[in-house]
């Protein structure tokens, strides 16, 4: 007989997860601030990007292209940033059920609908946990990311190469911590491995954004057919 899940306890776990992910992700904001200024943007331009755009992948794509091609590369930079931001539309469709009705609530939620807030929310098991996970993660990262962006922009020359501190791996490690508890069956493992292999192979040959989108499509296809899950259920036989 399974015990009921305590919504309050689940909400607390969601809040702790959100804060933990926010700390790891915000630390990488230092890297963005330093790289943005090194690419030629002013401190205030760098900060406006974080305040308004607020999606790390798109921001890094933008300053990366601008840094490589200067002002003439601005159209390509905007296109790359927009391409990476397309995934947030899919997140918004999924998070609309978590956020609930209300124009102002959904308008506010749209700015905090990012990879991390979606991942933390969907990792919870109760409506309360999913809601708290979304808002705590989104707001905490927004505050932390903008503060560390400013710090990185101001102290970039003093700090040196941000990768030397391992900040480029902080966000990836936080995602892995969220994903790991779900990798207990063959089907989720197959989905994760397929998406990771495709993204790794395509990243060196395609423009930023495309590998992520294609890997997401591969994950959907592998998950949709549920081949490994079906095989496992057939091997186990009917439930008694």
What are the residue ranges spanned by the domains of the chain?
A: 7-180, 183-240
Distances (CA, A) of 177 to 18, 55, 157, 171, 185: 12, 20, 32, 10, 17
> pLDDT for 50-81, tens place per residue?
999 888 777 877 777 666 665 555 665 666 66
> pLDDT for 179-200, tens place per residue?
565 566 777 777 778 878 887 8
Better-predicted residue by pLDDT, 99 or 161? 99
**Cα 56–Cα 57–Cα 60 angle in degrees, nearest 5:** 85
Q: Answer yes or no: are the C-beta atoms of 69 and 80 closer than 8 Å.
A: no
DSSP per residue over 146-164, as a string? HHHHHHHHHHHHHH--GGG
What's the rounded Cα separation, in Å, for the pair 129 and 135? 10
Q: Given this model, what pLDDT does residue 169 score?
A: 54
Q: Percentage of residues in the chain with pLDDT exceeding 70?
A: 66
Better-predicted residue by pLDDT, 25 or 171? 25
- Overall pTM surpassing 0.85 (yes/no): no
């Amino acid at each position: 007989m399974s015990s009921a899940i305590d919504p309050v306890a689940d909400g607390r776990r969601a809040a702790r997860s959100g804060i933990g992910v926010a700390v790891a992700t915000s630390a990488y904001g230092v890297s963005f601030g330093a790289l943005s200024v090194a690419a030629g943007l002013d401190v205030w331009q760098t900060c406006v990007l974080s305040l308004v755009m607020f999606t790390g992948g798109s921001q890094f794509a933008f300053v990366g292209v601008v840094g490589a091609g200067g002002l003439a590369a601005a159209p390509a930079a905007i296109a790359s940033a927009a391409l990476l931001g397309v995934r947030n539309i899919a997140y918004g469709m999924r998070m609309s059920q978590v956020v609930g009705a209300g124009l102002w609530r959904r308008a506010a939620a749209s700015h905090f609908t990012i990879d991390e807030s979606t991942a933390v929310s969907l990792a919870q098991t109760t409506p309360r946990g999913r809601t708290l996970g979304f808002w705590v993660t989104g707001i905490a990262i927004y505050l932390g990311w903008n503060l560390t962006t400013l710090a990185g922009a101001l102290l970039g020359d003093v700090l040196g190469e941000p990768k030397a501190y391992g900040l480029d791996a902080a966000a990836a490690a936080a995602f892995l911590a969220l994903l790991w508890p779900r990798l207990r069956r063959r089907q989720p493992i197959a989905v994760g491995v397929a998406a990771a292999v495709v993204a790794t192979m395509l990243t060196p040959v395609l423009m930023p954004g495309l590998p992520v989108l294609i890997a997401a499509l591969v994950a959907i296809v592998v998950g949709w057919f549920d081949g490994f899950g079906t095989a496992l259920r057939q091997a186990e036989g009917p439930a008694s």
